[in-house]
Structure 1
């Protein structure tokens, strides 16, 4: 029943999303894609897969398994009957090297280096504003990049940005879907991003034939897993 419910939910979202996207996309300004390519990442790969340290309670569909992938790559493996269905990637970016997010924080009223006030409603609101601005910047650059490659063959629409808890941190959930002119989904991207005062945590997965990691091979499996990913993110050991 849960599997069928989430398949139906995913289908409804895909149908309804384009109608709300034009307004959202008109709000976006350009800077970066969902994983800042020029910002140094943490932790050091030699320290192992970060998922092993931060993974809390794991939720998964019946007969599915979720665990940190073997090796040092920051990947969470989702599998069933010994077959890997998809992976979820987490990247950690130090604020000191991330000038774009520093600007987002300043615009929201938070000076980098200020005391972190996790329990302050004002601080949480300011962080939320900065994270939404970060997502908007990433949306704009991502869509511009894709349009240069796809032209008018694919139309991208944005999911509404939603405030969520990622571990004990204030975060947001965001996403994009790319629809083919002749019908069907070319790409779908799902992300969560949170800030702990010194680092930006970016959790992503997708249905995207062009991606190497952080993706599902089948769109229906991504649709099934998405609500479980939300539950996993909420229980991460962050900060």
Structure 2
């Protein structure tokens, strides 16, 4: 269920950034974008962004953050842009390896593929776009995830969505809905007030 003040969430003050790690989507939203007839609003759960058509939720985008101090870092927190990029590359590699191991334990016949992480601004922060998919023996995609990760040197910020074939309770119910929303998600991520 979306928050009632969707207009305020969609039109926050410009040129302001939020550095509170517990901030909700309503606090973080800058520029919003959606396919024609779709709406993007903060959900009642502050960690979820709802993507709707006529009040019906088509999908969600999850966000979470945690202190960099919770990550086992050799050499301390990354303070330079180069060190932050190296940290983000390592974060994506570790995340994808964890997902691959987890899914192989559940169904060893699934084939794991991933996108190479690509630099992408997450608000004003250095970030990466990443993704992965799991396909069955016939090549049918059973799960696909699109994510963005960034750091400000103190917090790690993660934004993720996807589709799980046959699971209408997944972030998106269909691959076509996720594909239609992806370019709009990129606009939203780039416009976040981080």
Please give the TM-score of this superposition, normalised by the length of structure 1: 0.68
Residue in 1 that maps onto 2:162: 206
Residue 82 of structure 1: CA displacement? Answer: 1.9
CA contact (8 A) 1:89 1:213 kept: no
CA contact (8 A) 2:26 2:46 kept: no
Question: Matches of residues 182-221 of structure 1 in structure 2 within 5 Å?
Answer: 182-208=138-164, 215-221=171-177
CA contact (8 A) 1:89 1:214 kept: no
Structure 1 counterpart SS, 2:121 = strand
Partners of 2:136 and 2:189 in 1: how far apart? 30
| C-alpha RMSD of matched pairs (Å) | 2.0
Q: Is residue 2:15 matched to residue 1:58?
A: no
CA contact (8 A) 2:43 2:49 kept: yes
Partners of 1:75 and 1:156 in 2: how far apart? 26
Return structure 1 stretches of 4+ with deviation > 3 angstroms. Answer: 209-214
CA contact (8 A) 2:165 2:174 kept: no
Q: Which runs of 5+ in 2 are unaligned?
A: 1-20
Aligned residues: 174
Partners of 1:137 and 1:218 in 2: how far apart? 27
Question: Matches of residues 49-198 of structure 1 in structure 2 within 5 Å?
Answer: 50-70=24-44, 72-99=45-72, 102-103=73-74, 106=75, 111-112=76-77, 116=79, 123-152=80-109, 154-198=110-154
CA contact (8 A) 1:178 1:185 kept: yes
Residue 147 of structure 1: CA displacement? Answer: 0.6
Partners of 1:213 and 1:95 in 2: how far apart? 31
CA contact (8 A) 2:162 2:171 kept: yes
Please give the TM-score of this superposition, normalised by the length of structure 2: 0.83
Structure number with higher helix proportion: 1
Residue 73 of structure 1: CA displacement? Answer: 3.8
Residue 184 of structure 1: CA displacement? Answer: 1.6
